Amino acid sequence: MGRPISAKFVVEDGTLQLSLLIVKDDGISEFHLYPAIGMINEVVDIVDPDKIKAAAAQKLAIESATISLFAATESAVKANKGFRAISVLPMLSEGRPVAMVTLLGSHGFRVVAEKLYRFGF
């Protein structure tokens, strides 16, 4: 199937879906999952050069990470009571991998950066 490098919830045509960017041996695909029914509805191969460039940068951040996106997301939610994670995107910041976690709470959105590395990076 491949390795996930980012995830975000989106609402399309009034329906909540989870969009996962997956790196495979033969390229990059976007999987659209519908949480309400637990099914993959659509798999789209990424061919747009800008999207490929962004995905390559995310892949580079993931490859240098020592902490998973899931653990970083959990940490962000735990530190921000009353918020839920709606997206997590890896990136390099000053050469170090970080996860930009977008959170949603009753008073709006919040974006926090979580380290994807332990001390001594």
pLDDT tens per residue, range 3-20: 889 999 988 888 888 999
The mean pLDDT of 80-105, rounded to a whole number, is: 96
- Cα dihedral sign, 38-89-69-79: negative
The pTM (predicted TM-score) of the whole model is 0.83
pLDDT tens per residue, range 35-70: 777 778 788 899 999 989 999 999 999 999 999 999
- The CA distances from residue 4 to 19, 20, 21, 69, in Å, are 10, 6, 6, 9
